[in-house]
Structure 1
Amino acid sequence: MTPWDQPGRFWRGNLHTHSTLSDGVLSPEEVCRRYRGEGYDFLALTDHFVGRFGYPIADTLPFRTNSFTTILGAELHSGAMRNGELWHILAVGLPPDFAPTNTPTFLPIPDQETAPQVARRAVDAGAYVAIAHPQWSGLTLDDARDLAGIAHAVETYNHGCAVGCDRPDGFHTLDLLLSEGHRLNLCATDDAHFTEPDHFGGWVMVKAEANEPEALLAALKAGAYYSTQGPELRGIEITDEAVHVACSAAASIIVSGQGTASRAIHGESMTRGMMPMERFRASPWLRITVVDRAGRRAWSNPIWR
């Protein structure tokens, strides 16, 4: 599935945000007001689901308007990664009564649910689940494999991690999992705490018939969206002979596939690009990156051939 094949229109949203309910510095109401004022169509407030904060799932329903909606969610923590630190799992679309994990602080303790257990519980409760900030977490490939059959996506760009520690990336993790046959999508987020310029830097454009939580969640789970820092992806068509990309004005259009399969074209204000398929015939999947003159990027979800 690609979003351009689906009915509806694109809605701009951020999937990873924090408030004073955990370690952010703005109230939930103010966070919603700022995203609404910036032109976002929807927001998921995903505070840390930890005992020291009371296991919060923010009630953002009062901050919805006719043109702005919210999706309930949280950043879940349970079990230790292989580096001994606590897992971070993004869950968007949780019910307000999602049962707490045994996570009193940001330190793993014995007898916690494992990461696969809590991720599965979130998926079963209706959430879109992503492996959060792999580079920042020090996630290993073995860690990522533990969630590869459960999560919907890998968080491949995290704006807070970009500005706060220069560790924004999850593409290496994603591409290795794709090359093992795991069918995962990707997402760009802010992870905004408003303690630094960590907001309005990465978002998703979701194709749905209505700006309503149920429709947005269904589209997210189906992969009917792309991720961006600003550029627009307007269409991707793959034939036996070539990859065709339509986009907003771009300086580079890049096709990436399995292993070393990759190719780019460069120019001035390109709105269309075409690359022959020869380089990608052995790759079962492709993904597209568009880069504008300011260096901002847009990314498609992987397209399986």
Structure 2
Amino acid sequence: MTDYFAAPGRFFRGNLHTHSTLSDGALAPEEVCRRYRDEGYDFLSLTDHLLGQYGYPLADTRPFRTPDFTTIIGAEVHAGAQDNGELWHLVANGLPFDFEPPESPTFFAKDSKESAQSLAARAVAAGAYVSIAHPQWSGLTQRDAESIQVAHAVETYNHGCANGADRPDGFHALEQLLEQGRRLDLIATDDAHFTEPDHFGGWVMVKAQENDPDALLDSLKAGAFYSSQGPELRNIVVTDAEVVVESSAVVSVVVQGHGNKVKAQHGLSMTRAQVPLAKFAASPYIRVTVIDAAGRRAWSNPIWLDD
């Protein structure tokens, strides 16, 4: 069983990728936090672009915390060029305020003293939870993805990229890394700028004992969360013969594994599904997707079957 479903605590809803007027967003930090809080989110990480053209901002959102809403200090960080010549984008949640910004003056990639690989490693060493941002939107190559050795997750659904560019996901990049044995998780985010319908569409549900930045970061790093556009995952139990999935009402439960290994069940208002695992005998991992009647999805993190 994925331990976090039975672990003490509760699920907290949060967005890990958001922007404000400190970089290229339309709303002030306080207003961004207010909107997420009033929308029912438990936490937010405001991740403005850590670029010279904006003065390398690391947003201090601590004044906007309330007894029921907290914030994780973070930024979208940039250094070096991808294979296609575009600037690297990484999301770092949990950065300390004394984090030394990379030499990245603008959104245009330039030769710099630091590579994206070095920047990711430095952010992780500083305590951050690091994700590879919007692979499809960025035009990320597989060689690019493989080069980031220390990331915790791949951003596999980005609501802003879905609505603003029709390039929403990073599942192919994630799957290729999983095939290599890389134990990465996946996150859904908004990447909200509030300049188009790019908000309140993708989030993480983090299991923690309290809605505290450190506790949330610990749970993120432990993989104790799932990602969603709406449906709830309520339990996943893996036995030798099957995976049992409990959720809010959905019409499809899909189990994915190595290569083309997939098994699905379909029905009306399903809240429990038992999917045989015989097809996954040679797969080192599985992950679960549930889809509701409106087409909205929730995704588990990869479950490694040798654990």
Task: Provide the TM-score with structure 2 as the length reference.
Answer: 0.98
Q: CA deviation at 1:181?
A: 0.6
- Equivalence for 1:215: 215
Any residues of structure 2 matched to 1:154-233 within 5 Å, and which?
Answer: 154-233=154-233
Aligned mates of 1:186, 1:6 — CA distance in 2: 20
- Contact residue 3 and residue 206 of structure 1 kept, 8 A: no
Q: Does 1:128 align with 2:143?
A: no
- Equivalence for 2:20: 19
Q: CA deviation at 1:2?
A: 4.2
- Equivalence for 2:65: 64
Which letter maps to 2:101?
Answer: P
Q: Does 1:288 align with 2:294?
A: no
What percent of counterpart residues are identical? 66
Number of equivalent positions: 304
Q: Does 1:112 align with 2:113?
A: yes
Aligned mates of 1:6, 1:224 — CA distance in 2: 9
- Equivalence for 1:299: 299
Which letter maps to 2:185?
Answer: N
- Equivalence for 1:33: 34
Q: CA deviation at 1:133?
A: 0.2
Aligned mates of 1:265, 1:193 — CA distance in 2: 37
- Contact residue 2 and residue 303 of structure 1 kept, 8 A: no
Q: CA deviation at 1:3?
A: 2.3
Deviations 1:82-126 (A, max 9, x none): 001100000000011210111011112223311110000100010
- Equivalence for 1:251: 251
Task: Provide the TM-score with structure 1 as the length reference.
Answer: 0.99
- Equivalence for 2:153: 153
Aligned mates of 1:72, 1:153 — CA distance in 2: 18
Q: Pairwise CA RMSD of aligned residues?
A: 0.7
- Equivalence for 2:83: 82
Cα 1:2–1:130 shift into 2, 3 Å: farther
Cα 1:143–1:36 shift into 2, 3 Å: same
Aligned mates of 1:266, 1:38 — CA distance in 2: 31
- Equivalence for 1:238: 238
Deviations 1:172-229 (A, max 9, x none): 1101100111000000000000000100000000000000000000000000000000
- Gaps of at least 5 residues in structure 1 are none
Q: CA deviation at 1:274?
A: 0.6
Aligned mates of 1:296, 1:246 — CA distance in 2: 16
Aligned mates of 1:71, 1:7 — CA distance in 2: 22
Aligned mates of 1:173, 1:184 — CA distance in 2: 11
- Equivalence for 2:45: 44
Q: CA deviation at 1:7?
A: 1.6
- Contact residue 156 and residue 170 of structure 2 kept, 8 A: yes
SS in 2 for 1:25: coil
SS in 1 for 2:216: helix
- Gaps of at least 5 residues in structure 2 are none
Aligned mates of 2:62, 2:219 — CA distance in 1: 20
- Contact residue 157 and residue 170 of structure 1 kept, 8 A: yes
Which letter maps to 1:269?
Answer: S
SS in 1 for 2:99: coil
Aligned mates of 2:86, 2:159 — CA distance in 1: 21
Aligned mates of 1:155, 1:100 — CA distance in 2: 22
- Contact residue 158 and residue 202 of structure 2 kept, 8 A: yes
Aligned mates of 1:152, 1:79 — CA distance in 2: 20
SS in 1 for 2:45: strand
Aligned mates of 2:124, 2:31 — CA distance in 1: 29
- Contact residue 205 and residue 228 of structure 2 kept, 8 A: yes
Which letter maps to 1:104?
Answer: P
- Contact residue 104 and residue 112 of structure 2 kept, 8 A: no
SS in 1 for 2:60: coil
SS in 2 for 1:188: strand
